[in-house]
C-alpha cells in the first residue's frame, strides 16, 4: 500500500512550479490574449505526464485540447474518466485593485495569487500532477481523458459543435467537472449539477442622436422607458412576474432537499465577505434552498446617456440592459427568452428589442449513480466524513448539459476541486491556498485508484 500523502508532498515543489508557469501566462478569451501560447504550454504538460494530445481547431473558436492517458498493463482499459477544464481566464481589470501582479503567480502567506489560478488553472494542474505521480508509481488504473477548452469565460460558444463533431473522442464512463471549493466551514463542496442560463440584452431607442434635456417634458426618454419595463418584470417582494416564468419547473425531490441541508449557506458570512449593504431578498431560513433550487432574474448592467465626470444635461438616444436569468430543471433558455419578449409586448413595451446572447440548459446528475458514490466515498477518506458538502447543483451555470446532450444524459458529472470560499474568482486578488492544492492532488490519486479497482458496471 503506497503512502500517497507522502508521495504528493515530495512532488509539491514540481507541482507549484508547474502552476506558477501556467498562471503566469495570460490566456484572456474576451480579449484574445495569449491563447496560442497557452496551448503550447499545455501540450508540454500533457507530454511530460506521458499523455497523447490532439488540438481540435476545426469548429471556428479557440482551440480545444483533447488528451488521453492510457492505463498501465495492470490497469483496466474498459474504465474511463473524462476531465473537463478550461484554459481561458477573465480579464484582470481593474488592475489598480490587485495587491500583486495579476500574472505574477506570487506566493504570500501560503496562497498563490494570479488571474485564473482558481478559475480554472489550479484544478488542471492538480489533475495532471496526480497523473504524473501515478505514472511514476506503477501507472494509471484506468483510462483518463481531458477536454480543455478556451472559451468558457465567454460562454463556450463553439463547445456544442466540438462535442457533436468529436463525441467519440470524449465518451467516458463519468466526467469530473472543472472546479469546486472549500466553504467557510472548511467543507469540500461536491457539486452534481448547475443551473441553466438565459442571458439577454434589452435595448430601447428614442432618437438618432442625444438630445438636450430641455426636451424632457416633450420627448420620451429611453432610459426611463427601459426602467419602467424592467419594473413590470419583478415585484417589490422579488417575485419574477414574467407570465409563465415558473411554469414547467421540476421541483427537487425529498432526497435532494435532504442533501441540501448539509450545505451551510452562511447568510451572516455572505454579508461580511461581500460587504452587502441591503438585507437578503430571501428569508435567511430559506436562503440555502433559494440559492440551489430557485430561478433568478438579475440586472447585470444598465447603460444609457452620460456617466462621466461632472454634469452633462442630455436626454439619451438609447438605453440598454444586460439581463441574466439562472434556470432550474424544466426551464429552457429559448422558452424563457420567448416569454420575456411576449411579456414586453403584453405590457406595451413591444418597441424594446430583446435578444438572447447566450443560453445554457440546467443539468443535474443522478446522485445515486455508482461513480457518484465512489467520488463521495473517496472524499470522505481524504477530507473526512464530516467535511463534505454535497450540492445537487451549483447556483451558477456551465455547459454540463451540452456534455449530456452529446455524450449521454445518463453519464454522471461530479465537480470537485482545489479552490476556497474567498478565492475572489472574476475579481482582483484571485488566489488558491497551496494546502488545498496539495490535498486535491491526493484526492485525485485516491479516486483513480479506488475507481480502477472497482468492477465495471
DSSP letter at 63 equals -
Q: What are phi and psi of 339, to 5 degrees?
A: -70, -35
Whether residue 262 lies inside any domain: the answer is: no
Q: Are residues 22 and 157 in the same domain?
A: yes
Q: Are residues 71 and 200 in the same domain?
A: no
Q: Are residues 379 and 244 in the same domain?
A: no
Here the contacts of 92-96 (C-beta below 8 Å, separation 24 or greater) are 92/28, 92/428, 94/428, 95/428
Residue spans of the chain under pLDDT 70: 1, 455-457
Cα dist from 336 to 145, 148, 240, 242, 266, whole Å:
35, 30, 12, 9, 30
Where among 360, 383, 404 does a domain terminate? Answer: 360
Here the contacts of 2-9 (C-beta below 8 Å, separation 24 or greater) are 2/137, 2/138, 4/133, 4/442, 4/445, 4/446, 4/449, 5/442, 7/133, 7/137, 7/445, 8/129, 8/133, 8/438, 8/441, 8/442, 8/445, 9/438
Whether residue 286 lies inside any domain: the answer is: no
Q: Are residues 130 and 62 in the same domain?
A: yes
Distance, CA of 245 to CA of 337 (rounded, Å):
10
Distance, CA of 393 to CA of 191 (rounded, Å):
6
Q: Are residues 104 and 159 in the same domain?
A: yes
Whether residue 423 lies inside any domain: the answer is: yes
Residue 312 in 3-state DSSP?
coil
* CATH number for the domain that contains residue 141: 3.40.630.10
Q: Are residues 134 and 240 in the same domain?
A: no
Total domains present in the chain: 2
* CATH number for the domain that contains residue 240: 3.30.70.360
Three-state secondary structure of 87-143: CCECCCCCHHHCCCCCCCCEEECCEEECCCHHHHHHHHHHHHHHHHHHHCCCCCCEE
Whether residue 270 lies inside any domain: the answer is: no
Q: Are residues 72 and 139 in the same domain?
A: yes
Is-contact 55 39, C-beta < 8 A? yes
CA dihedral over 265, 268, 271, 272, signed as positive or negative: negative
Where among 360, 386, 415 does a domain terminate? Answer: 360
Interval 312-357: pLDDT, tens: 999 999 999 999 999 999 999 999 999 999 999 999 999 999 999 9
Q: Are residues 398 and 322 in the same domain?
A: no
Whether residue 122 lies inside any domain: the answer is: yes
Whether residue 115 lies inside any domain: the answer is: yes
Chain-centroid distance of CA 242 in Å reads 27
Is-contact 9 2, C-beta < 8 A? no
Largest CA-CA distance found in the chain, in angstroms, rounded: 82
Q: Are residues 369 and 354 in the same domain?
A: no
pLDDT reported for residue 360: 87
Q: Are residues 245 and 327 in the same domain?
A: yes
Whether residue 280 lies inside any domain: the answer is: no
Strand 388-391 to strand 188-191: parallel, antiparallel, or no bridges (unpaired)?
Answer: parallel
Q: Are residues 34 and 116 in the same domain?
A: yes
Where among 340, 360, 380 does a domain terminate? Answer: 360
Whether residue 288 lies inside any domain: the answer is: no
pLDDT reported for residue 158: 94
> Could you tell me which of 416, 398, 434, 394 has the C-alpha nearest to residue 114?
434
Range of the domain at 228: 196-249+295-360
Residue with the three cell numbers 501540450: 43
Is-contact 227 323, C-beta < 8 A? no
Q: Are residues 12 and 157 in the same domain?
A: yes
Amino acid at each position: 500500500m503506497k503512502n500517497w500523502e507522502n508521495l504528493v508532498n515530495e512532488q509539491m515543489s514540481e507541482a507549484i512550479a508547474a502552476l506558477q508557469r501556467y498562471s503566469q501566462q495570460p490566456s484572456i478569451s474576451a480579449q484574445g490574449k495569449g491563447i496560442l501560447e497557452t496551448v503550447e504550454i499545455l501540450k508540454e504538460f500533457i507530454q511530460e505526464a506521458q499523455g497523447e494530445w490532439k488540438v481540435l481547431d476545426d469548429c471556428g473558436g479557440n482551440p480545444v485540447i483533447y488528451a488521453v492517458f492510457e492505463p498501465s498493463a495492470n490497469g483496466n482499459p474498459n474504465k474511463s474518466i473524462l476531465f473537463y477544464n478550461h484554459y481561458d481566464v477573465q480579464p484582470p481589470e481593474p488592475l489598480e485593485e490587485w495587491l500583486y501582479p495579476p500574472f505574477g503567480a506570487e506566493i504570500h502567506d501560503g496562497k498563490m495569487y494570479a488571474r485564473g489560478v482558481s478559475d480554472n488553472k489550479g484544478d488542471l494542474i492538480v489533475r495532471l500532477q496526480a497523473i504524473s505521480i501515478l505514472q511514476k508509481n506503477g501507472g494509471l488504473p484506468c483510462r483518463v481523458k481531458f477536454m480543455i477548452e478556451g472559451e468558457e469565460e465567454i460562454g463556450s460558444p463553439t463547445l456544442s459543435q466540438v462535442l457533436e463533431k468529436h463525441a467519440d473522442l470524449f465518451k467516458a464512463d463519468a466526467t469530473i467537472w472543472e472546479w469546486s471549493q472549500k466553504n467557510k466551514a472548511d467543507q469540500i463542496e461536491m457539486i452534481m449539477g448547475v443551473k441553466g442560463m438565459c442571458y439577454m440584452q434589452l435595448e430601447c431607442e428614442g432618437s438618432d442622436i442625444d438630445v438636450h434635456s430641455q426636451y424632457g417634458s416633450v420627448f420620451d426618454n429611453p432610459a426611463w422607458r427601459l426602467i419602467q419595463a424592467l419594473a413590470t418584470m419583478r415585484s417589490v417582494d422579488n417575485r419574477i412576474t414574467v407570465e409563465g416564468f415558473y411554469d414547467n419547473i421540476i421541483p427537487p425531490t425529498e432526497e435532494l432537499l435532504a442533501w441540501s441541508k448539509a450545505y451551510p449557506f452562511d447568510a451572516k458570512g455572505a454579508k461580511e465577505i461581500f460587504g452587502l449593504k441591503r438585507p437578503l431578498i430571501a428569508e435567511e431560513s430559506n436562503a440555502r434552498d433559494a440559492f440551489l433550487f430557485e430561478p433568478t432574474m438579475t440586472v447585470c448592467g444598465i447603460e444609457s446617456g452620460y456617466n462621466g465626470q461632472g454634469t452633462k444635461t442630455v436626454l439619451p438616444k438609447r438605453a440598454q440592459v444586460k439581463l441574466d436569468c439562472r434556470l432550474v430543471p424544466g426551464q429552457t433558455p429559448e422558452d424563457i427568452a420567448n416569454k420575456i419578449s411576449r411579456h414586453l409586448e403584453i405590457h406595451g413595451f413591444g418597441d424594446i428589442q430583446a435578444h438572447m446572447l447566450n443560453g445554457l440548459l440546467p443539468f443535474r446528475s443522478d446522485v445515486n449513480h455508482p461513480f457518484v458514490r465512489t467520488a463521495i466515498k473517496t472524499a470522505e477518506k481524504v477530507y473526512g466524513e464530516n467535511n463534505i458538502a454535497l450540492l445537487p447543483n451549483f447556483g451558477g451555470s456551465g455547459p454540463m448539459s451540452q456534455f449530456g446532450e452529446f455524450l449521454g444524459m445518463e453519464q454522471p458529472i461530479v465537480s470537485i476541486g482545489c479552490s476556497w470560499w474567498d478565492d475572489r474568482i472574476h475579481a482582483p486578488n484571485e488566489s488558491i491556498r497551496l494546502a488545498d492544492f496539495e490535498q486535491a492532488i491526493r484526492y485525485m490519486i485516491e479516486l483513480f485508484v479506488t475507481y480502477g479497482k472497482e468492477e465495471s458496471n
